[in-house]
Chain A
Amino acid sequence: MDNSGQVKFIRRIKKALGHPKEDHRRMAEFFNLPISENDRTILKHIKNRTRQEKRKLLKTLIEAAKPINLNVIMLPDVSSVTLAIADLVEQKEPEWGSKKSVMSWNHPLVERLNLKEALSAQNVPVFVSELKNEEEQSASSSDERQRLRQQVIDSYIGITSADFCMADTATLVMRTRPGQARAVSLVPLIHVAVIGEDQIIADLKELYVLLKWDPEHQKETLTNCMTFISGPSKTADIEANMVHGAHGPREVYIYVITNKD
């Protein structure tokens, strides 16, 4: 059965191209190729990056962030990031209502910020985008999803980490996992991403080499939703005037923790 129309469709393409029907050989020429010498060198280069080289990447990132109105802030440790976020929560006003709340990822680095406690002084609740019940079809998980959805809609700041940050274009790379919902970096007015200096890579080329060939990332690859974020949402659709916050966040902050502890 060919409900999807695939067989006929592909047959028409083969005919248009004049290719023979059997093409396992061509398939092998295109996919599952071994790692190239060049990619191996890049991989090695990423792994053996010196402290100085890493600092240089951070400088590149800060420069690339400026023209796209993205705030990249170097901070020495986790506790100074917590303070910075508490300041931000105090200064910034919510977009739709008057009640302040924050939504965060369930992520080891974000957890170490101890935001619940830090923001309790301001009476600002911190919600975590995590399903307690992971059974997809159960009624309780659907209720829970609904609750998380409402929480992210109500929150005016979303706090995430990222898998990588590409210095060249000032781009956060985020993969989707349980506990790390997509909406946290999208729906709130302000997006805050907290990363370690080691997560900075040079560019797209390095990213793709890591995703494809690094044993640590190879298994998970891209997940079902990998997102690049380069700065705040923007539009220039009315008389070419640049306006931030078209649909996504109006402000984006990347806090880079420079000290390893």
Chain B
Amino acid sequence: MAEITTENYLSEAKRAIKNQVLQNALEDLQQRFGTATALAYQNLPEGPGLRFKAHDIRMDTIENLDIILEKLAANIQKNGGHVFFAQDGQDAVDYSLQVARRHNVKGVVKGKSMVTEEIGLNNAFIEAGIDVTETDLGEYIIQLAGEHPSHIIAPAIHKTRNDVGKLFSEKLDIPFITDPPKLTQAARKALREKFLSADMGASGCNLACAETGHITTVSNEGNIRMAATMPKIHIAFMGMERVVARLEDHDVLIRLLCRGASAQNMSTYVSYIGGPRYPGQADGPEEFHLVILDNGRSRMLADEDFREMLCCIRCAACLNVCPVYGKIGGHSYGFTYSGPVGAVVTPLLVGINRAKDLCLGETLCGACQDACPVNIDIPRMLLVLRQKLAEGDPAWGVTPANRKERAMYSAWSWMIRNRKVYDLFLKMTAFGQKFLPQKDGMIRRLPPPMHGWTKSRDMKPIAAESFMKRWKKL
């Protein structure tokens, strides 16, 4: 598994808010993609309502995932590909290392893949003495910097051209330059050598097609095509939900994926890969492996509250509109997946208590659902997670996150159902609040243990007379 630092959500978020470079980058990203994606949906021939159809297709797929995956595997095997079903990240890593060792692999070139981030594939390869190179320009930059992606589609948005120039001059041994085309050319040159010398290409899978037996990869740079064409082995990784049954489902979903991810009608490259090269073909990999990963997904599938989350196609549209992500950035979420998708998926993958701040931190404003190409009701699932945190849930191993809060709400609930006690409480607080610091008719600070409430906001004082009393007088 990748490193999990979800416990640091609050401190990381505070740090991100103070980082002005990041704040500018996030604002720019959201302004560009947020509105452009909404417009791209509007411009669909079927209109934005296509998102509802896409949701139905995805739900139908997820509810029949068993037979759809069987069909996909059978078709890929028929075409000479190998399929491996990995129960968890370790299984997937072990299998990839086996394949690599069998072929004496020394260098791996990787296309961007969140699921390989999730299972910590890079570190496993490096520990095994295998050179791994991320080849998406953004991923390459953050790999050179020794960091993790902060956005699913734009992993290096937190880096300026000066950062990149410095990094390249140190690591690639070139003069310091800051011109993006020149920097891109430097990376193209360095990575071209990697592509041509690598023995193995690794990629993710955007959306497989079961009836034809293909995975698809989508990119603008062409790096995934390179990784899947030049090395002698291609190994692809997919979360078990990243599949649909038929080609006509792809018509809806590929169009929505490109719009959701980058407001494009079509990304530059979409490849359908269904196995190793055939005899007589001049290029393409000698071996093709597909690793299908569960790693906690079947648990989401079994819970009807969270099954819908498996509709997600990881396009990052929700990140581009989320007011919380827009301030705290991707690293605060402490795991592979950030933004609204991360706020639901991460707790379910790493433990709800452990990642509690992620779902508590979101606003429930619903922007994510409106931006989602498959219309996933993320706010609903955030609420379910919060409910589990409040009340506990043995099935998910959740203990109530805040016993003090729970006790206070129980007491409150008892009090407001007892009129006399409540009246007494009102009388006492109406009197007591006179001693609290006030400004412009607002209470500035509450005493402990309620002081947290007024840390970042003022509170309106309680009325001198309750509504019920005034009602009687009328």
Query: Which A residues touch B248, using CB under 8 A?
Result: 39, 205, 208, 212
Complex contact B280–A237 (CB within 8 A): no
Q: Which of B22-56 contact A (CB under 8 A)?
A: 25, 28-29, 32
Stretch at the interface among B269-277, B348-356, B394-402: B269-277
Known contacts A204-B254, A212-B247, A4 near B83 by CB under 8 Å = yes
- The answer to whether B87 and A8 have CB atoms under 8 Å apart is yes
Q: Does B123 contact A (CB under 8 A)?
A: no
Q: Residues of B contacting A227 with CB < 8 Å?
A: 225, 269-272
Tell whether B265 is near chain A: CB-to-CB under 8 Å.
yes
Contact of A9 with B292 at beta-carbon distance under 8 Å, contacts A4-B83, A26-B67, A230-B267 already known = yes
CB-defined contacts of A145 to chain B, threshold 8 Å: 282-283
How many Å lie between the Cα of A222 and that of B192 in the bound state?
28
Q: How large is the interface on B (under 10, 10 to 19, 20 to 34, 35 or more residues)?
A: 35 or more
Indicate if the CB atoms of A5 and B86 lie closer than 8 Å: yes
CB neighbours of B82 from chain A (8 A)? 4
Contact assessment for B271 and A6 in the assembled complex, using a CB-CB cutoff below 8 Å: no
- Smallest CB–CB gap between A192 and chain B, Å? 16
Cross-chain contact B138 with A237 (CB below 8 angstroms):
yes
A17 engages B135 (CB within 8 Å): no
A window 146-185: CB within 8 A of B? 148-149, 152-153, 166, 168-171, 176-179, 181-183
Instruction: Say whether A112 faces chain B, with CB atoms less than 8 Å apart.
Output: no
Per-position binary interface string of chain A over residues 185-228, scored 1 when its CB falls under 8 Å from any chain B CB and 0 otherwise: 01100000000000000001100100110000000011111111
One digit per residue, 1 when the CB lies within 8 angstroms of any chain A CB and 0 when it does not, for chain B 181-206 equals 10111011001100110000000000
**A248 contacts B268, CB within 8 Å?**
yes
Whether A229 pairs with B84 at a CB distance below 8 angstroms is no
Is A235 in contact with B220, judged by CB distance below 8 angstroms? yes
Q: How far is the CA of A6 from the CA of B185 in the complex (A)?
A: 43
Q: Are B269 and A13 in contact (CB under 8 A)?
A: no
The one of A31, A152, A170 in contact with B71, judged by C-beta atoms closer than 8 angstroms, is A31
The answer to whether B226 touches A208, judged by C-beta atoms less than 8 angstroms apart, is: no
CA distance A186 to B25 in the complex (A): 31
A225 and B215 alpha carbons, distance in the complex (Å): 10
Contacts of B68 in A (CB 8 A): 30
Q: Are B266 and A230 in contact (CB under 8 A)?
A: yes
- Chain A min CB distance to B303 (Å): 8
Q: Are A148 and B282 in contact (CB under 8 A)?
A: yes
Query: How many A residues, CB 8 Å from partner?
Result: 78
* CA A23 to CA B269, docked complex, whole Å: 36
Of residues 241 through 271 on chain B, the ones whose CB sits less than 8 Å from some CB of chain A are 245-248, 250-251, 254-255, 265-271
Stretch of B6-14, B293-301, B311-319 contacting A (4+ beta carbons < 8 Å): B293-301
A169 to B255, CA, bound (A): 10
Q: Are A241 and B180 in contact (CB under 8 A)?
A: yes
B221 at the interface (CB under 8 A from A): yes
A222 contacts B214, C-beta separation under 8 Å: yes
* A204 in contact with B268 (CB, 8 Å): no
A178-B85 contact given A23-B67, A229-B268, A247-B191, CB 8 Å threshold: no
Q: Please tell me if the beta carbons of A240 and B28 are within 8 angstroms of each other in the complex.
A: yes
How far, in Å, is A231 (CB) from chain B's closest CB? 6
A1 part of interface (Cβ distance < 8 Å): no
Is the CB–CB distance between B281 and A248 below 8 Å? no
User: A55 to chain B: which residues have CB within 8 Å?
Assistant: none
The 8 A CB mask of B214-230 against A (1 = contact, 0 = none) is 10000011110110111
- For chain B residues 126-165, which have a beta carbon within 8 Å of chain A? 135-138, 141, 154-157, 159-161, 164
Asked if A243 is at the interface (CB within 8 A of a chain B CB), the reply is yes
Q: Which residues of B contact A (CB under 8 A)?
A: 25, 28-29, 32, 63-71, 73, 79, 82-87, 91, 135-138, 141, 154-157, 159-161, 164, 180-181, 183-185, 187-188, 191-192, 195-196, 210-212, 214, 220-223, 225-226, 228-230, 240, 245-248, 250-251, 254-255, 265-284, 292, 294, 298-299, 301-302
